[in-house]
Amino acid sequence: MNDKQNPLSSEDSHAYWINRHKKHEGEWQAIGYSSGDLKINQAFYDCRKQALLKAVCKYKGKLQGLQVLDVGCGLGVFSQIYHEAGAEVYGIDISPEAINYCDSLKIGNFICAGVGDVPVIFDKTFDIIHCFDVLYHVTDDDEWAKAISGFDSVSGRDTLWLFTEFHIPKEITAEAHLVKRPISKYRNQLAKHERDILEEIPLYWLFNAVPSLATRYPKLITKADRFGRIGKKLLQEYVAMWVIGPSHFEATVKIP
């Protein structure tokens, strides 16, 4: 692994998120930028919501009646979107505080569990597996691979997986609790389950490139990210949403 520092162990990574939710119970800082204010966190999630709705409209048409698994559900931001659109929502999170918060919203069925526990908990298949900003926080490679295998075990022939990830040329541990894995590593792992990335929807690059400006001017940075995506060429790193499905689907976007 090419890294700047050693990643947390699986146990320490779990403890990090449990403690973070305890510290910021019910607050945006528990799930988004912990050092960011409400405005930047709202911008952070708004771009994800737009990409999510775009992908669902394109690949599923509507959410009414669909079975959705929200992995790493946090404060239920996306579970709420699915619920309001008529989907039946299930969610898991490693934090008891997060699960209690989601339960209070009355929007689905939530269980306190890790990403690798999916096949143990569920004996059904889902139409959509939603996993936003979670897998790059899974610091252990074995647990990461186990999570993907677990998703496959509760997926049908046409189940879509929606991930958000860093598009980067090589692997790096950016922070002790954050491991950025290259798209090539994901594609190799997905191929073991006859799945592939059907489409990539870039979300932003300036949030990561100049976080100080993003914190001060979230709306401006969000608008700038929509024009040209020049950061893709300058930095070779950006955050994107991946639409993942069975290999029999034809990819709509060429991904290097």
Mean pLDDT of 176-201: 94
Residue 29, pLDDT score = 85
Residue 228, pLDDT score = 44
- The region that residue 93 occupies, defined by phi over 0 for left and psi between -120 and 50 for alpha, beta otherwise, is beta
Residue 35, pLDDT score = 67
CA-nearest of 78, 85, 93 to 44 is 78
CATH 3.40.50.150 applies to domain 10-246: yes
pLDDT score of 116 more than 80: yes
What is the per-residue pLDDT across 36-56, written as a single tens digit (0 to 9) for each? 677 777 878 888 999 999 999
pLDDT score of 216 more than 90: no
Minimum mean pLDDT range among 200-209, 225-234, 238-247: 225-234
Domain ranges of the chain: 10-246
